[in-house]
A and B are shown apart, each in its own frame.
Chain A
């Protein structure tokens, strides 16, 4: 039977927590150390009984794992005995997943390896540190759009027109937006960003500069083609891509092509809560 429920079955913890034997053996030692000793079943069959109490676990060493059998019932993993270790284990898992996402990417040059992003050299990738320090300044763009990880989408142009919703950060600065004639991304809050796009309708090239001073250029429209700059956050790195589109396309057409659908901000009420 197919589960068509729109909400996940949170009442089945073992489905989320079950560790396959191979995975347990391959888990990094750090992860094993970060969590309290597990108490796997001593047989390969189902274990329906209640788990030992934390006191009992603390007083007796964990038995060696003899199988990876399925454990049913309210069998809280022993890692929950120490909330800190549990939090750390979850963090390691998240970091591992992020690393995995980055490892899946094909190799790409860094910003110091390229002078220009163009139709031949279409992509570069910043390091985790480059992606997180200061401000990414895009000069020469005439319009931009952004989308946060929450799906908040907005746009602005160099003349001050805006659409959609801004994304404000803890430092009271927008995550993305114009400051004078430069488009900026606030890299301190890069983890809030999903992607951003920069359009150049001028006759001069666009330029990207990061905190280290490293720069890369994108050529202006030519031969009926304009080159957009797409900034995509993948895991903990920012990827910059040159995307060609027909020069005659309007900003709206470009937004549609790249699926930037402007979101609305809820009106602010005067009630204090």
Chain B
């Protein structure tokens, strides 16, 4: 199992020959609250060669569980956030799959990542063998409302993973703007 730092990448399929089914786990701890709390939502965007969402059918999250091509599926529930990717099923026009988490923009208090600790993204096989892990650096998260955890991307005929940990203060709207998601 490899631990990555922000900006680092890993040759996923080169180092794991035969790997086809990748389980992307997104995890964090929230400081418990009796009052309204920030609700984090994991999200996957399948991007084309221009780096934007191929369409709104290429988004995978709790209310759209499977991509139109069935290659990416949200298998998490409220306690376990996991997204399955079957690499061989990802259409050729998809250049990368970006994984991010946003704080749900509830009008009664949007919340931030300030109350979130130990955010991480881990990739494992379908048999739950952990391949790599990236712990999101927990600095200056008070105003952060969305974080791109990492991305799977094509490199020639192989797949690689890049750890990012890029925070947004503009939440889902900011991420949507960058990745061409139609809200």
Footprint of B on A, CB under 8 Å? Answer: 28-31, 33-34, 82, 84-85, 87-88, 91-92, 94-96, 98, 127-135, 137, 170-173, 179, 184, 186, 188, 190-191, 211-212, 236
What residues of chain A lie closer than 8 Å to B89, measured between beta carbons?
Answer: 29-30, 33
Known contacts A30-B89, A133-B183; is A173 also within 8 Å of B106 by CB?
Answer: yes
Q: B65 is contacted by which of A85, A91, A171 (Cβ under 8 Å)?
A: A91
Please give me the residue from chain B that is nearest to A30 by CB atom: B70
B63 and A171 contacting across the interface, CB-CB below 8 Å: no
CB distance from A165 to the nearest CB of B (A): 19
Main SS at interface, chain B: loop
Q: A91 is contacted by which of B36, B59, B63, B73 (Cβ under 8 Å)?
A: B73
What residues of chain B lie closer than 8 Å to A171, measured between beta carbons?
Answer: 36-39, 104, 106
CB distance from A49 to the nearest CB of B (A): 29
Which residues of chain B from 63 to 121 have any CB-CB distance to chain A below 8 Å in the complex? 63-66, 69-71, 73-75, 78, 84, 86, 88-89, 104-108
What residues of chain A lie closer than 8 Å to B33, measured between beta carbons?
Answer: 172
A82 and B127 contacting across the interface, CB-CB below 8 Å: yes
B56 in contact (CB, < 8 A): yes
A84 and B21 contacting across the interface, CB-CB below 8 Å: yes
- A34 vs B73: C-alpha distance when bound (angstroms): 11
A188 and B106 contacting across the interface, CB-CB below 8 Å: yes
Which residues of chain B from 134 to 177 have any CB-CB distance to chain A below 8 Å in the complex? 172
B7 in contact (CB, < 8 A): no
What residues of chain A lie closer than 8 Å to B128, measured between beta carbons?
Answer: 84
Contact bitstring B33-47, A, C-beta under 8 A = 1, else 0: 111111101000000
B69 and A135 contacting across the interface, CB-CB below 8 Å: no
Known contacts A134-B106, A172-B34, A188-B41; is A92 also within 8 Å of B183 by CB?
Answer: no
Highest count of chain B CB atoms <10 Å: which of A129, A184, A190 = A129
B23 in contact (CB, < 8 A): yes
Please give me the residue from chain B that is nearest to A98 by CB atom: B65
Ordered by A's residue number, 10 sampled pairs between the chains whose C-beta atoms are within 8 Å are A30-B69, A31-B70, A129-B59, A129-B181, A131-B63, A133-B183, A171-B36, A173-B108, A179-B108, A188-B41
B28 in contact (CB, < 8 A): no
Instruction: Give the top 9 A-B pairs by smallest Cβ distance, nearest first.
Output: A30-B70, A132-B63, A95-B66, A84-B126, A171-B39, A134-B105, A188-B104, A212-B183, A135-B107
Known: A33-B89, A95-B66, A129-B59. 4 other contacts (CB 8 A): A30-B70, A132-B63, A171-B104, A172-B34
Footprint of A on B, CB under 8 Å? Answer: 21, 23, 33-39, 41, 56, 59, 61-66, 69-71, 73-75, 78, 84, 86, 88-89, 104-108, 126-128, 172, 181-183
Q: B56 is contacted by which of A30, A92, A127, A135 (Cβ under 8 Å)?
A: A127
What residues of chain A lie closer than 8 Å to B108, measured between beta carbons?
Answer: 135, 173, 179, 184
What residues of chain B lie closer than 8 Å to A129, measured between beta carbons?
Answer: 56, 59, 61, 63-64, 181-183
What residues of chain B lie closer than 8 Å to A30, measured between beta carbons?
Answer: 69-71, 86, 89
What residues of chain A lie closer than 8 Å to B56, measured between beta carbons?
Answer: 127-129
Known contacts A91-B65, A172-B37; is A28 also within 8 Å of B70 by CB?
Answer: yes
